[in-house]
Amino acid sequence: MDIRNCSRCNQLFVYQGRGICAACQAEEEHEFDKCRDFLEKQPQASLEEVSQATGVPVNRILAFLRDGRLISKDPAMGGLRCQVCGAPVTSGRFCPACADKLRTGIERGIQQNEKGKNAMHTWGNRKDKEEPPG
C-alpha cells in the first residue's frame, strides 16, 4: 500500500493515482461543481468574479481550466494560451486550429517515415482507392 500525505490537507491517505485524499477529492469535486454552475449562469464572468462568488481560490479554478475540466467562454479568463500559436484558449493546451494541424502533422509525419523506409511500396501497397497526394 502506498501511503502519502495529502497535498491539500496534509493527512496521511492511501495513494490511488491522485495526490489528494478522498475527502479532499470530494471537496474538489464540490468546488468544481460550484465553478461550473456559476460559469453556466454567467459565462462571461472573470476569474475573480467566479472565485468571489464560489469561494474557490483562483489558483484552483485555474487548475480546473488547465486540466480542461472547466471551460470558460472568456478565453482570457484562465490566461491559457495555445502552446503553438499563442492564441487564447478556453481549455487545454492548443487552440482548435493548432490541435487540428498537430493531428494531421503527426499523421503526415508517420506517412513520410513509412515512405522513407520503403519508398516504392507505400502507395502500391494500399488496398483502398485513395489517390496519392499531389
What is the binding site for Zn ion (CB under 5 A)? 6, 8-9, 21, 24, 82, 84-85, 87, 95, 98
Minimum CB–partner distance for residue 37 and Zn ion (Å): 23
Minimum CB–partner distance for residue 62 and Zn ion (Å): 19
- Cβ closer to Zn ion: 22 or 123? 22
Distance between CA atoms of residues 111 and 30, nearest Å: 46
- Cβ closer to Zn ion: 33 or 37? 33
Distance between CA atoms of residues 118 and 55, nearest Å: 60
Minimum CB–partner distance for residue 42 and Zn ion (Å): 27
- Cβ closer to Zn ion: 35 or 95? 95
Distance between CA atoms of residues 73 and 50, nearest Å: 13
**Burial of residue 125 (number of CB atoms within 10 Å: 0-12, 13-18, 19+):** exposed
For residue 22, the SS3 value is helix
CB neighbours (10 Å) of residue 113?
9
Distance between CA atoms of residues 123 and 105, nearest Å: 19
Minimum CB–partner distance for residue 114 and Zn ion (Å): 27
Q: Length of the chain in residues, anyone?
A: 134
- Cβ closer to Zn ion: 13 or 38? 13
